[in-house]
Amino acid sequence: MEGLEGFLAAESRALARRLNVLRAFGDEIGSCSPADAVTRLDAACAFCDTELLPRLDLHETLVDAFITGVLGGLDVARPLVAERRRLRGLAMAMASRRREGSFDPSCRRALRRELYLLHAVASVYLARQQTLYLPLLRGRMHAAAQDALVHQLTTAAPGPVLDAHRLHDRTLVATAVGRDRVRGSTQDVDANVDR
């Protein structure tokens, strides 16, 4: 089952790299300037709006439906649905903070909490997807069905994670660690892309 399994594993790695950048932003939110906070929050909101949430929508409409069909109507996605709902709420809370534009200490603490929760819930979601979905599909999917599902997943999202991740990782890393460390960070990102 390398087709779908490989795709979901690569997708999880690409999303995990971006989520780690958001976690780093949470670590540093207390000490960064308001201008840096705005730039990094803009990048975090853009990631959620253009990559994370569209990817979650695709999982809900394509992968959940496919698994339910393969398993004869068995609803195995309930925990994933709850996690997706929580991630959407956290993304909306971050967008609301960005619209407010306030970065006083209490707002920074709340934003740190939201960034940490987004990282944690998304990490659990990705791990659960790997441990729940894939074992259920092994041996039940023909290669052609896997290829068709992977094709749908890669073409349906407005900003496909796997096609644009090198450039987007550079943008997020640049805003997260500053100009002086960008060169080394992007080399690290490029070295890890195919792992």
Q: What is the pLDDT of residue 23?
A: 95
Q: What is the pLDDT of residue 142?
A: 80
d(CA 35, CA 51): 24
pLDDT band at 67 (very low <50, low <70, confident <90, very high): confident
- Is 85's pLDDT higher than 80? yes
In single-letter form, the type of residue at position 26 comes to G
Mean pLDDT of 10-16: 89
**More confident site: 182 or 32:** 32
- Is 2's pLDDT higher than 80? no
Residue 63, Cβ density class (10 Å: 0-12 exposed, 13-18 middle, ≥19 buried): buried
Q: What is the pLDDT of residue 68?
A: 75
Output the CA angle 99-101-106, nearest 5 degrees: 115
d(CA 47, CA 94): 11
d(CA 80, CA 108): 29
Q: Which two structure tokens, joined as six digits, stand for 146? A: 């896997």
- Is 171's pLDDT higher than 70? no
Q: What is the pLDDT of residue 158?
A: 55
**Considering the domain 2-192 in this protein, what is its CATH number?**
1.20.120.520
Q: Which two structure tokens, joined as six digits, stand for 120? A: 């944690």
- Is 15's pLDDT higher than 50? yes
3-state secondary structure the chain: CHHHHHHHHHHHHHHHHHHHHHHHHHHHCCCCCHHHHHHHHHHHHHHHHHHHHHHHHHHHHHHHHHHHHHCCCCCCCHHHHHHHHHHHHHHHHHHHHHHHCCCCHHHHHHHHHHHHHHHHHHHHHHHHHHHHHHHHHCCCCCHHHHHHHHHHHHHHCCCCHHHHHHHHHHHHHHHHHCHHHHHHHHHHHHHHCCC
Is the Cα torsion angle 173, 176, 178, 180 positive or negative in sign? negative
d(CA 30, CA 95): 18
